[in-house]
A and B are shown apart, each in its own frame.
Chain A
Amino acid sequence: MAPIDLDKYVRPGKDHFLALGLEGSANKLGVGVIKHPLGELTPENRALILSNVRDTYITPPGEGFLPRDTARHHRNWVVRIIKRALADAGVAGADLDCICFTQGPGMGAPLQSVVIAARTLAQLWELPLVGVNHCVGHIEMGREITGAENPIVLYVSGGNTQVIAYSNQRYRIFGETLDIAIGNCLDRFARTLKIPNEPAPGYNIEQMAKRGKHLVQLPYTVKGMDLSMSGILGYIDGVAKEMFGPQQKKLVDKETGEEITPEDLCFSLQETLFSMLVEITERAMAHVESNQVLIVGGVGSNERLQEMMALMVKDRKNGSVYSTDERFCIDNGIMIAHAGLLAYRSGQTNALEDTVCTQRFRTDEVFVEWRD
């Protein structure tokens, strides 16, 4: 196959492409500007992040974020955040090649509140729009930042839990959650314990888990290549309610006789869920004979998950784990700009009538034209 020409659409006299990316599929509103030099992106010819601005809608402890309120947050901030991202990048509208936006999957109202701004700006500045699959955004950003060439991707966030492998111009889903996402499971347990949502519920659970010592036995629910987590959440929620509800039931560790603490519960939940993730990831690696794992998505910033994955990979020949820090693995605008620009360079643009966002948009629906 002939190498893919990614420079067909370069503007005359330019030696690069510039894209603005807008993300708002959940409680983070992110805007970023990315620059691609001409030619294929390689470790020597990398994408350049010019700006990456994010504003997170934080709810009080014990409360999750609802679509309507989240959409209102995005509407309130979107213009200011776009301005800040352009200012940080030192880029004018006239320099841009396209405006990329998250088309799904995600929460309907927040997605829609952001695409309205994208459509208006695209018309004002006469720029093409490019709709981006949120999951593909995570994958492409992870690959670009870490340099992982063809990894098994573990995509773990508040709304998604998938094990993905690339084959024949699609990111194919090997295994996924059958009910709730891992981040959703952790966030909801944080609400049960009234752990603050600032900076992120999962982050606070991670910190508490570091102080946990006793493992509470929880259900372990791997089903082939898939996982189920709602039962685990129901179980541990029940334990927590017995301990901290009116019953004030004391739970003790069988071996030491020491009392079980909220920290122990966080620790046990993480250990159980992450073991399940590691198991299906390892199986996927065996299937496709890959020795690289790339962890993306908000939960990917959890250092314990990274550590457990590294332990598994160490036992495999030449294995390596790739992960990114919170700037790139937590939802952001730059990943949308990056994946959108790759699509734009392969010829994708969305006419206004094709910019409708959808809550369901599977990773494997996207034709990955920019890879061979």
Chain B
Amino acid sequence: MPIILLKTEHLLLRQMALDHIVTIQIPFETEKQASIARNSIAADPVLKKNEISVEFIAEGNVLQCKFAGVSDRVIRVAISNCIDNIKTVIETIEEFDGQKDTLFKKDS
């Protein structure tokens, strides 16, 4: 399982008020996996755009998720949601990457 690295910064972006910022970095095995993960989770629009903005960037084999929100609470909700999605992505990758030609066995 990839290790999740947290980095918190506080910036003074008063005009936007999205001054609570957290970046999550998730390393994948390959560059392709990181970009697949990005594409899978970035397709969904962020609700409440005036309260939170989320940016997903695949850099090499690392997926960077940048959250900027108006409060700790909205950041927490967004991160929790994002990690839930990434869990599904990672599990899907783990089971199916490189298995396109595999005939899965029953009860495995």
Q: How far is the CB of A226 from chain B (nearest CB, A)?
A: 31
Q: How far is the CB of A347 from chain B (nearest CB, A)?
A: 21
Known contacts A113-B88, A120-B89; is A125 also within 8 Å of B106 by CB? no
Q: Output the nearest chain B residue to A88 by Cβ-Cβ distance.
A: B106
**A residues less than 8 Å from B107 (CB atoms):** 87
Which of A54-62, A76-84, A294-302 forms contacts with chain B?
Answer: A76-84
Contacts A79-B96, A113-B85, A123-B36 aside, 6 further interface pairs with beta carbons under 8 A come to A79-B95, A87-B106, A91-B103, A124-B100, A355-B43, A356-B45
Chain A residue numbers with a CB within 8 Å of B45 are 356
Number of residues of chain B lying within 8 A (CB) of chain A: 29
Number of A residues near B (Cβ < 8 Å) is 31
- Chain A residues numbered 34-65 whose CB sits less than 8 Å from any CB in chain B: none
* B11-54 near A? 1/0 per residue, CB < 8 Å: 00000000000000000000000001101110111000000000
| A94 CB within 8 Å of chain B | yes
Note all chain A residues with C-beta closer than 8 A to B96.
79, 82, 93, 120-121, 124-125
Task: For A125, list chain B residues within 8 Å (CB).
Answer: 96, 100
Expressed in whole angstroms, the Cα–Cα distance for A353 and B100 within the complex equals 24
A108 to B16, CA, bound (A): 28
Q: Are A116 and B89 in contact (CB under 8 A)?
A: yes
Q: Given A75-B84, A93-B100, does the pair A83, B95 have CB atoms closer than 8 Å? A: yes
Write out the residue numbers on chain A whose beta carbons fall within 8 Å of the beta carbon of B99: 93
A352 contacts partner chain B, Cβ-Cβ < 8 Å: yes
A356 touches B43 (CB 8 A): yes
List the A side residues contacting B9 at CB < 8 Å: none
Interface assignment of A2: CB less than 8 Å from any CB of chain B: no
CA distance A123 to B58 in the complex (A): 15
Q: Name the A residues within 8 Å of B8 (CB-CB).
A: none
